[in-house]
Structure 1
Amino acid sequence: MMAAQRVIVGLSGGVDSSVAALRLLEAGHDVEGLFMSNWSEDEEGYCQSAEDFQDARAVCELLGIPLHHADFSREYRDRVFAAFLSGYRAGVTPNPDVLCNREIKFGSFLDHARRLGAARIATGHYARTDAAGRLLRAVDADKDQTYFLHAVPAEALRHTVFPLGELHKTEVRALAKRAGLPNHDRKDSTGICFIGERPFAEFLARHLEDEAGEIEDLDGRALGRHQGLTRYTLGQRQGLRLGGVSGADDAPWFVAGKDAARNVLLVVQGHDHPALFSRRLTAVEPHWVAGVPPAVPLECMARCRHRQPLQPCRLEITGDGPLVVNFATPQRALTPGQFVVFYSGENCLGGATIATVDAPTAAGRLQSRPVSA
């Protein structure tokens, strides 16, 4: 690990960030903690920020390190939440975790830590960096979080330490228990703080105006009614309420697309229906960790969602146009608004926002269309 420095660790109250602080202390660094409040407590009371802060404070008391508290809720609302709502209004499915990392956890947090005199920041993310400033996949492939970190600026990565990058989750739990950390067996948090435990559709309904409309199959047959296009995403099965469709078998229905002009939700029957699979997408607003795009065409690996096994693909860039990604095998439920992230070996090259997907029709032919717009 690096020479001893003053490092401020972003503490969430969870076991991962706590063990990150523990490892830095054991390596001889001057360690302090910082708890970030990214969602106002008056936002309907669903965020567990107060409970998380108490867990972070208990860890700091055990480790004997100071704990700072910073409120980034305004920055989060302006830079992350506003984009989240804008994406849903546009008919796509945004990923706020990527924006939160870029704008808050490695933006506002880093700036605040520098004002507190820190040489570096650290987090409990499962990722690695090297001396060349590259972002590398974590040793624990199942926990690797580089998908969420691909948009973090290179300057921020150069001032960040990932103490868990060489560890497996089981080792992290064991270290926490051995050190007597009070949260050693705390369940991992999932989902987005501002949504909390409530149903996702319920949350969106509080912030977006929805208009009910028809649900149709790809032949234009009306099957039922949806509650608003913003409530559905590609490949979704739950919430369609399409049991017992006349002339159809008992196989479940899945969202295959949205016709925003007619306010129609398009569905197909069967998890492996051809209309749910695509080989080609275009992507926009790329961010390259190295600061410059790779030489193209490039044969590399990619994933379009967290924990998806890496998929072989060919990456092309045409002038000032979007990235074009052709996969070796069909990919299920590629979703505009989400991110495609590229890898070469252990190296995370960067990523871009999925704009359009070439989706098979029921007849098996390809038509280029933004399937969520």
Structure 2
Amino acid sequence: MTLRVLAAMSGGVDSAVAAARAAEAGHEVTGVHLALSSNPQSYRTGARGCCTLEDARDARRAADVIGIPFYVWDMAERFDRDVVQDFVAEYAAGRTPNPCLRCNEKIKFQALLDKALALGFDAVCTGHHARLADGELRRSVDLGKDQSYVLAVCTREQLAHAMFPLGDTTKAEVRREAERRGLAVADKPDSHDICFIADGDTQGFLADRLGAEKGRIVDASGEVLGEHDGAYAYTIGQRKGLRLGRPAPDGRPRYVLDISPVTNTVTVGPREALDVHEIHGERPVWLGEPLTAPYDCKVQLRAHGEVYDCSAVPVGDVLRISLHAPARGVAKGQAAVLYDGDRVLGSATIAATFSASTVQAGA
């Protein structure tokens, strides 16, 4: 069946090959590049596969080679509100957000898809490395490039109008195919940094928007060990850059254990104090039938992070995830994505974490 397909073209090799495959499959494909900044020079520069002026030009050239119509859509205001401002607000609240996850949720599979459907398109095609099989979201065959984690915030209704042509292909194969197709982006490097932080200085970016606010760095007993200029500059599990006045009595390194925006306090302690045995997630999104009883599965707690055996069950509006072995450095604000094999069951935003002692105490 021929579909009207809107291909989101970032300017990178993945989205270019995905669009080419959709066109080759006989679909009526139109390419679109999303302009995400009203002042592109305020974002990073250079062709990096997403979000720059050079990337827009690369996307247009790829569309010309493929032979499909191409447009640039201005989504700067929506991106600033739903991704950039959300990023700042989450850090201010003591959480560690994933802006790429939020961009997929709010921009590519909400704003873009809504507009595409309103214009009569049947599906949105992207270069994500993930698979859709019988309506289910599954991991890519290239586990090193798998992006099912950042897509797990999408709803079943959104995925019903999604197309991921690269899920059965490794990244090396994508590059070779791009070269065969004459796409100039075949050797273009992947994008790894945050597109709206031009110099990569996240701490400086946050300081400009949140301002300096001195606070205390304490240990678990409350003893003051140092001072900081803003709790937002720290993340759970951080070891370097703590600027402590003195070493631990046993000489072992300290790590960030907790961030309290209310008291503007950062708590540090030994590495083993980072162990998390239970996670509570909020705003669960189910890609299959919602769980109604404890279910043994696996959970991934950050993009390209380790996967843990667990038991998960909804309790009211909270998804409770009990880990079979402890995880370390679990940050509130990240997504907890549940898997059954390579199939995504659902996701939730990490709202609270508990050690073995607090779990046993009935937390």
- TM-score, normalised to structure 2, is 0.91
Aligned to 1:137: 139
| 1:84 and 2:87 aligned | yes
Tell me, in whole angstroms, the C-alpha distance in 1 between the residues paired with 2:283 and 2:78: 21
Tell me, in whole angstroms, the C-alpha distance in 2 between the residues paired with 1:66 and 1:191: 29
1:265 is displaced (CA, Å) by 1.3
**Aligned pair in 2 of structure 1 residues 329, 27: CA closer, same or farther (>3 Å)?**
same
| 1:308 and 2:305 aligned | yes
| 1:162 and 2:164 aligned | yes
How does 1:160-309 map onto structure 2 within 5 Å? 160-242=162-244, 245=247, 247-249=249-251, 251-269=252-270, 273-290=271-288, 292-309=289-306
Q: Given that residues 43 and 197 in structure 2 are in contact (C-alpha distance below 8 angstroms), is that contact kept between their aligned partners in structure 1?
A: no
Aligned to 2:347: 351
Aligned to 2:22: 24
Tell me, in whole angstroms, the C-alpha distance in 1 between the residues paired with 2:174 and 2:197: 27
Tell me, in whole angstroms, the C-alpha distance in 1 between the residues paired with 2:74 and 2:198: 19
Tell me, in whole angstroms, the C-alpha distance in 1 between the residues paired with 2:188 and 2:245: 39
Q: Given that residues 43 and 52 in structure 2 are in contact (C-alpha distance below 8 angstroms), is that contact kept between their aligned partners in structure 1?
A: no
Q: Given that residues 229 and 263 in structure 1 are in contact (C-alpha distance below 8 angstroms), is that contact kept between their aligned partners in structure 2?
A: yes
Which blocks of at least 5 consecutive residues in structure 2 are unaligned? 46-50
**Aligned pair in 2 of structure 1 residues 140, 160: CA closer, same or farther (>3 Å)?**
same
1:190 is displaced (CA, Å) by 1.3
1:197 is displaced (CA, Å) by 2.6
1:90-132 deviation per Cα after TM superposition (whole angstroms, max 9, x unaligned)? 221222222211221011211232344422210000111123x
Aligned to 1:63: 66
Q: Secondary structure at the match of 2:355?
A: strand
Residue identity in the other structure for 2:293? V
Tell me, in whole angstroms, the C-alpha distance in 2 between the residues paired with 1:155 and 1:246: 52
Task: Choose which of 2, 5, 23 in structure 1 pairs with 2:3.
Answer: 5
**Aligned pair in 2 of structure 1 residues 190, 92: CA closer, same or farther (>3 Å)?**
same
1:32 is displaced (CA, Å) by 1.8
Q: Secondary structure at the match of 2:239?
A: coil
Tell me, in whole angstroms, the C-alpha distance in 2 between the residues paired with 1:222 and 1:334: 24
Residue identity in the other structure for 1:174? R
Tell me, in whole angstroms, the C-alpha distance in 1 between the residues paired with 2:72 and 2:272: 50
1:233 is displaced (CA, Å) by 0.8
1:45 is displaced (CA, Å) by 4.5
1:244 is displaced (CA, Å) by 6.1
Tell me, in whole angstroms, the C-alpha distance in 2 between the residues paired with 1:57 and 1:99: 25
Aligned to 1:366: 358
- TM-score, normalised to structure 1, is 0.89
Q: Secondary structure at the match of 1:183?
A: helix
**Aligned pair in 2 of structure 1 residues 233, 246: CA closer, same or farther (>3 Å)?**
closer
Aligned to 1:97: 100
**Aligned pair in 2 of structure 1 residues 293, 243: CA closer, same or farther (>3 Å)?**
same
Q: Given that residues 17 and 174 in structure 2 are in contact (C-alpha distance below 8 angstroms), is that contact kept between their aligned partners in structure 1?
A: yes
1:217 is displaced (CA, Å) by 2.4
Which structure has more helix as a fraction of its residues? 2
1:58 is displaced (CA, Å) by 1.4
Q: Secondary structure at the match of 1:111?
A: helix
1:247 is displaced (CA, Å) by 4.2
Q: Secondary structure at the match of 1:156?
A: helix
Tell me, in whole angstroms, the C-alpha distance in 1 between the residues paired with 2:137 and 2:200: 34
Q: Given that residues 175 and 187 in structure 2 are in contact (C-alpha distance below 8 angstroms), is that contact kept between their aligned partners in structure 1?
A: yes
Which blocks of at least 5 consecutive residues in structure 1 are unaligned? none
Q: Given that residues 338 and 345 in structure 2 are in contact (C-alpha distance below 8 angstroms), is that contact kept between their aligned partners in structure 1?
A: yes
**Aligned pair in 2 of structure 1 residues 287, 326: CA closer, same or farther (>3 Å)?**
same
Task: Choose which of 321, 324, 329 in structure 2 pairs with 1:325.
Answer: 321
1:89 is displaced (CA, Å) by 2.1
1:207-264 deviation per Cα after TM superposition (whole angstroms, max 9, x unaligned)? 1133112222224333322121111110112322348637452x44321112444422
Q: Secondary structure at the match of 1:230?
A: helix
Across the two proteins, how many residue pairs are aligned to each other? 356
Residue identity in the other structure for 2:191? S
Tell me, in whole angstroms, the C-alpha distance in 1 between the residues paired with 2:352 and 2:12: 37
Tell me, in whole angstroms, the C-alpha distance in 1 between the residues paired with 2:272 and 2:325: 13
Q: Given that residues 37 and 72 in structure 1 are in contact (C-alpha distance below 8 angstroms), is that contact kept between their aligned partners in structure 2?
A: yes
Q: Given that residues 14 and 174 in structure 2 are in contact (C-alpha distance below 8 angstroms), is that contact kept between their aligned partners in structure 1?
A: yes
Q: Given that residues 358 and 368 in structure 1 are in contact (C-alpha distance below 8 angstroms), is that contact kept between their aligned partners in structure 2?
A: no
